[in-house]
């Protein structure tokens, strides 16, 4: 990525930090990306080419998962500038989507710079994800967690208590899917191990898959964790599921 060709389209501050909307080449594709900080971390983005796949691999995997499951009602915690919700509205013309996004400054940015259009099937809640989970009476076929503090899922969403709240919101055979940034092997995969343990305590079936196939499993990468009480409800993603965290080969790798 040649930063000399980057064009900052818009920069702004909210109570949660500094953001920049940048036109650039991202992953060899012309794109518009929302960065937090001074282009420190990519939060959301759209490609500006004719390739149908979403710009970020993990968003494409979450979209594929949703299209396979065909849910009627989806809860997405972590909206960013609503690129995934826009793709879900297009791909699932009958689905209703609730988005919980803490930073209300991102919604007008999504409308002005990322072409978010009003839609009666999309409802936005500006709230903490954990608070919404505890207060809502709605029930969902699919819950997606895609919220981060830098590269970590917020602590309040990574707990057993949060997993229990999500379980209570799911309809029978419902699925929860989490976007995780963590290694799979090695001593630095605590996020993966802890989330696996939290969800294994509450759900009968789990599936963990990489979002892409071009990164080492020893290094931090995007992983998609699915959990459900019905094995048949778990989606088969593009890249093969990884062995369970309790598998002996994984435990052996942790000792290295």
State the pLDDT confidence band at 28, using cuts at 50, 70 and 90.
very high
Question: What CATH code is carried by the domain that includes residue 237?
Answer: 3.40.50.150
More confident residue, 63 or 201: 63
Query: Do 150 and 107 sit in the same domain of this protein?
Result: yes
Read off the pLDDT of each residue in 159-181 and give the average, rounded to a whole number. 95
Query: Do 85 and 179 sit in the same domain of this protein?
Result: yes
- Dist CA 240 CA 46 (whole Å): 26
Question: Does any domain span residue 86?
Answer: yes
Query: Do 80 and 192 sit in the same domain of this protein?
Result: yes
CB burial of residue 147 (10 Å; 0-12, 13-18, 19+): buried
Query: Do 23 and 87 sit in the same domain of this protein?
Result: no
CB burial of residue 156 (10 Å; 0-12, 13-18, 19+): middle
> Tell me, what's the pLDDT at 254?
55
The pLDDT tens digits of the residues spanning 177-191 come to 999 999 999 888 989
- Dist CA 189 CA 199 (whole Å): 16
Question: Does any domain span residue 52?
Answer: no
Query: Do 42 and 65 sit in the same domain of this protein?
Result: no
* Share above pLDDT 90 across residues of the chain, in percent, rounded to a whole number: 81
Query: Do 91 and 113 sit in the same domain of this protein?
Result: yes
- Summary mean pLDDT of the chain: 92
Domain of 31 in residue numbering reads as 3-47
> Tell me, what's the pLDDT at 232?
95
> Tell me, what's the pLDDT at 248?
47
State the pLDDT confidence band at 40, using cuts at 50, 70 and 90.
confident
> Tell me, what's the pLDDT at 159?
87
Query: Do 43 and 67 sit in the same domain of this protein?
Result: no
> Tell me, what's the pLDDT at 1?
46
The pLDDT tens digits of the residues spanning 101-158 come to 999 999 999 999 999 999 999 999 999 999 999 999 999 999 999 998 766 787 888 8
State the pLDDT confidence band at 256, using cuts at 50, 70 and 90.
low
Question: Does any domain span residue 72?
Answer: yes
Burial code of 187-226, b = ≥16 C-beta within 10 A, e = fewer? eebebbbbbbebbbebbebbbbbbbeeeeebeebbbbbbb
More confident residue, 102 or 253: 102
Residue linked to tokens 């980057």: 6
Query: Do 215 and 88 sit in the same domain of this protein?
Result: yes
- Strands 96-100 and 73-77: what pairing? parallel
Domain count across the chain: 2
Burial code of 58-95, b = ≥16 C-beta within 10 A, e = fewer? bbbbbbbbbeebebebbbbbbbbbbbbbbbbbeebeeb
**Residues 140 and 169 sit within 8 Å (Cβ to Cβ):** yes
The pLDDT tens digits of the residues spanning 42-80 come to 999 999 999 999 999 999 999 999 999 999 999 999 999
State the pLDDT confidence band at 253, using cuts at 50, 70 and 90.
low
């Amino acid at each position: 990525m040649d930063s000399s060709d980057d064009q900052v389209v818009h920069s702004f501050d909210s109570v949660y930090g500094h953001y920049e909307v940048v036109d650039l080449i991202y992953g060899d594709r012309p794109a518009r990306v929302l960065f937090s900080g001074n282009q420190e971390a990519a939060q959301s983005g759209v490609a500006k080419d004719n390739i149908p796949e979403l710009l970020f691999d993990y968003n494409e995997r979450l979209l594929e998962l949703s299209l396979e499951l065909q849910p009627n009602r989806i809860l997405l915690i972590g909206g960013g500038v609503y690129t995934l919700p826009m793709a879900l509205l297009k791909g699932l013309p009958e689905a209703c989507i609730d988005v919980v996004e803490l930073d209300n400054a991102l919604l007008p940015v999504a409308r002005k710079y990322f072409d978010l259009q009003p839609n009666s099937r999309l409802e936005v809640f500006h709230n903490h994800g954990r608070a919404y989970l505890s207060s809502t009476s709605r029930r969902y076929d699919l819950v997606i967690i895609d919220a981060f503090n830098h590269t970590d899922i917020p602590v309040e969403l990574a707990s057993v208590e949060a997993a229990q709240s999500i379980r209570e919101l799911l309809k029978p055979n419902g699925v929860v899917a989490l976007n995780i940034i963590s290694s799979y092997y090695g001593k630095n995969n605590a996020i993966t191990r802890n989330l696996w343990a939290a969800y294994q305590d509450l759900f009968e079936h789990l599936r963990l898959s990489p979002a892409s196939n071009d990164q080492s499993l020893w290094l931090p990468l995007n992983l998609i964790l699915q959990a459900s009480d019905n094995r048949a409800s778990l989606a088969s993603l593009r890249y093969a599921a990884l062995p369970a965290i309790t598998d002996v080969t994984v435990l052996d790798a942790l000792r290295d």
